[in-house]
Structure 1
């Protein structure tokens, strides 16, 4: 029974949701209003749920994920999308997939309850816009890849902490994943081209349609006063994989003088990433060979590693920086110091599990960079659900802005 004290809280949340929804549907809506709306809806659910209902919702998340992973193996979502509005019965799905009809019914109860498809008559399932996304890379590739990569370790994570006295892992080689399954995340991915392909596809899909770092960060901070001579290096993408970010940057800012260099392990940068970009085999655990570049760019690198490895990477880079001219640009999550989003907080646990990595708060970023000898000169935040951009310079001398 709802008390009189609780009623105003729920009603005020409903009013806040109404006002935020109007902003989110307006022509000039922003990503911030959208994420604010989602946050308010989560608060409303918590306010409406009894404590027992909240606990039961949390308890039964694992079977939901397992059912979804099984549905992905059966390829049911593409079948529903093909039929568009006609839908498919459990009998038809059983015939097309080879699965038992009764099992289809049980699994699809979970899918409809999760909102991943609709069912307006008994044992008949119809595609929705949420069904469609499950056939696109973010769902099609992301769900099986991340489930298979993380679940064996997450299932044993309580045992890991019990045995390791509830201390956060500090060594990549002794991560919970290494302890649980005998492999690191990169070893697990490298073991199969199919796994690596799913992972690459998912990571790319997460950023599809989202702003690039140079859409969030004011690039004029780099282009103003930049050196312009044949050997000058403008941007070094450290650990940049296939160079997608450099290609996008060059396409948008072809006028910027200076060389663009992509660095990653030799087998990764064996082919030319694109016109105007130079590939270079390099490990960021070694001293940086490119001296005096305008910027050294790291995207989604530091969250893979514990603090002491991150400090080593940063110190290796600092040794090559030109004081007062060079700077480090980091594209990574910057969690708020309070009220972090559930997705980001969950991703932190995942990164800790598979590689002793960390999703850092603003305070943690400032401490890490300060210990390495850097000063943060700005943090730019775009889409609240995506990475922020951090700019840092050597502490010894002020930067040239």
Structure 2
């Protein structure tokens, strides 16, 4: 019997996966959520099997579309992607999802426009563009309502407060903060990727610097007068982004039980210490040092620990230490130095300097753990890796997995000239700084373990 055609194979993946998905919901006595209804957490939101099944459907559906339609139609779909960014940025900025929050049957665009104080004719065009792509629903001509997708953009504050208080507008609203950040700083900087890669300007750290005509890093730019609210929005977006990574990534990514009582673990660039909190809660026999800039550990860091585990600070089990990883590492011979989502924010030469500081401080038995995303190839990896998905799906499941990390990779390029790395690139980076690769524990964030010998 011959193998099925790619089209038949993709349809088969979709059909069998949809059946499995509906069966999983049926066993919970629930129906799969409707696209037309606002989002609400369900009983299977964090189910790993359901998540894997969903990724197969998404990967196969996107590949099926790319396979069956004319190539030029695909290009016509992808090339104007900036209009999606601009449209999402607009409705988020002027608070359209909030206007529709209490109008489940929808509002006429004239009424929406009056509340958000923009031209109704132009707003209708933006809303129809989004509804055509399943963000909002056009329930009748020029009448729009929130749906499952648009409802995640609703912010946490009343509409009138959103209009008058720009600084706290995005606090508590992860979805809106992510969209705001990407469609503001990101969208402004993205066109300069062309100049940055083509011309290799010597006086610009990243496309962001070309766009905003600044020599400051994004971090320093956020602290300039007038940009503080953007910094707060970014922090909100990253807090929500961090929630996609469960604590088990950190507690199970390394054999912490193998460390002797009182061994020192250093959280390098650890912000307030949320990862240390997860590890210390599971492995209290160790001593922990959370390092970040003074403005982070002195106020929000202290508050974080006082609210969650004040005894950890008072007993000395956890120490908050002001330190920049651009400077020599003050803690010598620690059992473990670890970093979470740090290296992707910096150019290669900066990453080398950071890791060399740690290597100079390390003892013969010290370990380095890098918690970071691994860039998957869109083709099979000759060096091995996880089992491949069913044919003819891409090795990285296309948009379902590779879509997110490749987008983050370009965002790192856009803002910092940073990058997401393949396993091979991490191993090479370690070797260039005196760290020998030992093992990797894969997952949404991989745990890469290095030793000094």
* Aligned ranges 1:145-156 → 2 under 5 Å: 145-156=181-192
Match of residue 374 from structure 1: 435
Conserved 8 A contact 2:253-2:447: no
CA contact 1:374–1:393 (8 Å) conserved in 2: yes
Structure 1 residues 52 and 13, CA, compared in 2 at 3 Å: closer, same or farther?
same
TM-score (norm 2): 0.77
Q: Is the CA contact 1:344–1:359 (under 8 Å) kept in the aligned structure 2?
A: yes
Q: Is the 8 A contact 1:335 1:359 kept in 2?
A: yes
Cross-structure match for 2:164: none
Distance in 1 of aligned mates of 2:54 and 2:440: 21
For residue 227 of structure 1, what is the aligned residue in structure 2? 260
Q: Is the counterpart of residue 388 in structure 1 residue 421 in structure 2?
A: no
**1:88-133 CA distance string (max 9 Å, x none):** 1112102211212212211111120121111121111122121221
Residue in 1 that maps onto 2:407: 346
Match of 1:72 among 87, 92, 104: 92
The alpha-carbon deviation at position 55 of structure 1 amounts to: 0.8
Contact 1:304–1:355 under 8 Å retained in 2: yes
Change (3 A) 1:300 1:218: closer
Shift of 1:331: 1.3
Give the distance between the partners of 1:240 and 1:135, measured in 2 at CA: 30
Aligned residue for 1:334? Answer: 374
* SS in structure 2 of the partner of residue 119 of structure 1: strand
Please report how far the alpha carbon of residue 238 of structure 1 lies from its aligned counterpart in structure 2 after TM superposition. 0.7
Tell me the SS of whatever aligns to 2:295.
coil
Look up the match of 1:13. Answer: 10
Alignment partners' CA distance in 2, 1:141 and 1:70:
13
Match of 2:43 in 1: none
What RMSD in Å do the two structures reach over aligned CA positions? 2.2
Correspondence list, 1:112-123, <5 A: 112-123=131-142
Alpha-carbon distance, 1:23 to partner: 4.2
Quote how far apart the aligned CAs of 1:248 are.
2.8
From 269, 275, 287, the counterpart of 1:239: 269
Change in Cα spacing, 1:71 to 1:94, as seen in structure 2 (3 Å) is same
Corresponding residue number in structure 1 for 2:424:
363
What secondary structure, in the 3-state scheme, does the structure 1 residue paired with 2:149 have?
Answer: helix
- The 5 Å alignment of 1:61-210 reads 61-83=81-103, 85-135=104-154, 137-164=173-200, 174-181=205-212, 182=214, 183-191=216-224, 192-208=227-243, 210=245
Cα distance per residue 1:345-401 (max 9 Å; x no partner): 22212211211101111111111112212222222222xxx322211111x2xxxxx
Distance 1:301 1:215 in 2: 15
Identify unmatched segments of 5+ residues in structure 2.
Answer: 25-46, 156-172, 313-317, 380-395, 397-401
After TM superposition, the structure 1 stretch with the greater mean CA deviation from structure 2, 326-335 or 31-40, is: 31-40
Mean alpha-carbon deviation: is it higher for 343-352 or for 331-340? 331-340
Asked whether the 8 Å contact 2:251–2:278 carries over to 1, the reply is: no
Equivalent in the alignment of 1:37: 57
| 1:300 Cα offset (Å) | 0.8
Is the contact between residue 249 and residue 445 of structure 2 (CA under 8 Å) also seen in structure 1?
A: no
Contact 1:337 1:362 in 2 (8 A): no
Which of 280, 286, 297 is 2:327 aligned to? 286
Query: Kindly tell me: are residues 210 and 26 of structure 1, through their superposed partners in 2, closer, same or farther at Cα, counting changes over 3 Å?
Result: farther
8 Å contact from structure 2 (residues 88, 183) kept in 1 = no
**Contact kept in structure 2, 1:351 and 1:359, CA below 8 Å:** yes
User: What is the CA–CA distance in structure 2 between the aligned matches of 1:265 and 1:62, rounded to whole Å?
Assistant: 36
Q: Which runs of 5+ in 1 are unaligned?
A: 1-6, 397-401
Cα distance, 1:24 vs. partner?
Answer: 4.6
Q: CA contact under 8 A between 2:101 and 2:146: conserved in structure 1?
A: yes
In the alignment of these two chains, the number of paired residues is 372
